Amino acid sequence: MTYKELIQRLFSINLFGGIKMGLTNCYQLQRLLNFPDHAFPTIHVAGTNGKGSVVTKIAKALQESGYRVGLYTSPHLCCFRERIRINQDMISESSVETILPHLFELTTVHAIPATFFELTTLLALTYFAREKVDVAVLETGLGGRLDATNIVSPLLSIITSISLDHTDILGSTEEAIAKEKAGIIKSGIPVIIGPKTPHRQLLDIAHANNSPCIKVHSLSPLFEEENKAIAHTALNHLKSSFKLPPEAIAKGLEAKQPCRFEVLQGSPAVILDVAHNPDGLQRLFQATKKHFPEHSIRVLFGLSKGKDLDGCLTILRNNAAAFHIVEAPNGRGAAISELKARLANLGVEPSPIHTHSEIQKGIQNAVQAAKLHNQILLICGSFFIMSQARQALGINEPRDEIDLNERHGPAKPSSEWNR
C-alpha cells in the first residue's frame, strides 16, 4: 500500500468511533514488537497547556548538543508526518510504508482493536528504534494515566500545567485532571511539575511513588516564559545523563512550534496560536497586549466541541474588538451558529461579529478588515482550523490532501478507567 492509502486506512479507524482510554492494546503491541521503546531513553511530558512547547525546547537542546533525538507530538497542523520527527525532520513516507503495514498485520492476526493514536504511538516508537535515536521526547495525547504513550519507562517525567480541559473525559475539577496527568509518574523516576499545577496533590502522588519531585516556581502571565522555565529545569536535571553545553541549552529554550504565538510580520501583523481553553486564551491575550500594546485586536477563531465554550468566549469578548467565527472542517468544531449565539448572550453586539462558512474566505476578510482598522489579527482556537488558515496566509509547507486528524465522539467506557 502507498503512504496515502496507509494513512487513510489509519485515519478511518477513528472516523466513526470514540476515544478509548486504556493501555491494553498498547501493551500487547509493545510486546509483539519486542519493546521498541527499550532501545532508547525517553522523556515523557504531560500537561493541559505548554507540553508541546516544552518537548520542542528539550528536543532542540539535545539535538544542538549532538544527540539524535526523536520527538513525538500531537495533533498535527497540516501533515500527519509532523507528529514523528528525528532532529526536526519528519518521518519519511517510505518509513511509514515500511512500518505501518506490519502494525496493521499484528492488529488483524491478534485481534487487537487499536485506535488511530495507539497505532501512531507504536509507529513512532518503532521508527525511533529502527533509526537508533539516542533519546526520544514524548508528548502525551490526552491525560496521562491511560494515554497510549504511558507504556514507556522514562528517564524523566514532566507535568507542565493543570487547568480545566477535556472535562468530559478527564474530570470536571482540576484535582481530578491532575490525578489523570499524574498517571505518568513512575516509581522512582524523577518528575518535574510546573508552577501552574496543584503542587501539594502532585507532591503526595510523587511521594507515594518514591519519585523525586522538582517544583518550578517561575509563574508568569506569559506562557513562553513559563515553558522556558520548565524546559530549563528539565535540561539542568538531564545534565546528569547527557552532555548539554550552555549554548545548546540556550538555543533549545528559544525553539518554538508553529502556531505557538507565531507572529507573521506585515500589514497587518498576524498572530497564530492554538490556545483553545480559557487559561490558554487568557495567557495569549496577555502576550499579545505586551508585544502590541498600541493596537486593538481582531480575532478569527474556531473552537472544538466539548470545550468550555462560554469560558473561552468570555475571554474573547473581554479582549477583542471584532470577531470572525469559523468552524473546523473535520466534524470536531463547534457550530458557527452556536458560537455566534453564545457571543450574543454574553452581550456582544451583532455588528462586530462576522461568520464565515469557509476558513480561507474568513482569513481574507479578517486580514482586510484588520489592515483597514490598523489592528492586530489574532487567529486562535482549535488546531483543526490552522492548516487551512496557514494555507490562506500563503505559508508553504507539507500538507496532506485531506484532514487526517482524529475524528471522534465521546470517550468509550474502558474497564481500565477506574482501575
CATH code of residue 316 = 3.90.190.20
Question: Both 166 and 237 in a single domain?
Answer: yes
Question: Both 181 and 323 in a single domain?
Answer: no
Q: For residue 405, is it within any domain? A: no
Q: For residue 153, is it within any domain? A: yes
Q: Residue 264: which of 371, 373, 385 has the closest Cα?
A: 371
Q: For residue 247, is it within any domain? A: yes
User: Residue 403: its pLDDT value, please?
Assistant: 65
Please say which residue of 258, 286, 313 terminates a domain.
258
- Sign of the CA dihedral running 184, 219, 234, 207: negative
Take residue 380 and report the three cell numbers written for it.
486562535
Using CB atoms within 10 Å of the CB of residue 6, give its burial: 0 to 12 exposed, 13 to 18 middle, 19+ buried: buried
Please say which residue of 258, 285, 306 terminates a domain.
258
Angle at 309 between CA 304 and CA 312, to 5 degrees: 105
User: Residue 160: its pLDDT value, please?
Assistant: 93
User: Residue 225: its pLDDT value, please?
Assistant: 92
Structural domain for 148, as ranges: 3-258
Question: Both 51 and 9 in a single domain?
Answer: yes
Q: For residue 123, is it within any domain? A: yes
Q: For residue 83, is it within any domain? A: yes
**Domains in the chain: how many in total?**
2
Question: Both 298 and 176 in a single domain?
Answer: no
Pure H helices in 77-115: 93-109
Q: For residue 419, is it within any domain? A: no
Q: Cell 465554550 belongs to which residue?
A: 309
Question: What's the CATH number where 59 sits?
Answer: 3.40.1190.10
Q: For residue 190, is it within any domain? A: yes
Work out the number of other CB atoms within 10 angstroms of the CB of residue 105.
Answer: 10
Q: Residue 370: which of 249, 288, 256, 307 has the closest Cα?
A: 288
Q: Please tell me whether the overall predicted TM-score, pTM, comes out greater than 0.75 for this model.
A: yes
Question: Both 158 and 295 in a single domain?
Answer: no
Question: Both 112 and 125 in a single domain?
Answer: yes
Question: Both 181 and 51 in a single domain?
Answer: yes
**What φ, ψ does residue 380 adopt, rounded to 5°?**
-150, 175
User: Residue 198: its pLDDT value, please?
Assistant: 82
Per-residue pLDDT tens listing for the chain (419 residues): 899 999 999 988 877 555 556 799 999 999 999 999 999 999 999 988 899 999 999 999 999 999 999 999 999 999 999 999 999 999 999 999 999 999 999 999 999 999 999 999 999 999 999 999 999 999 998 778 889 999 999 999 999 988 755 444 554 577 778 888 888 999 999 999 999 888 889 999 999 999 999 999 887 778 899 999 999 999 999 999 999 999 999 999 999 999 999 999 899 999 999 998 898 899 999 999 999 999 999 999 999 887 789 999 999 999 999 999 999 887 778 999 999 999 999 999 999 999 999 999 999 999 999 999 999 999 999 988 999 999 999 999 988 876 666 554 444 444 443 32
Question: Both 41 and 188 in a single domain?
Answer: yes
Please say which residue of 258, 289, 315 terminates a domain.
258
Question: Both 102 and 241 in a single domain?
Answer: yes
Question: Both 58 and 206 in a single domain?
Answer: yes
Q: For residue 408, is it within any domain? A: no
Question: Both 193 and 136 in a single domain?
Answer: yes
Question: Both 191 and 267 in a single domain?
Answer: no
Asked whether 14 and 407 are in contact (CB, 8 A), the reply is: yes
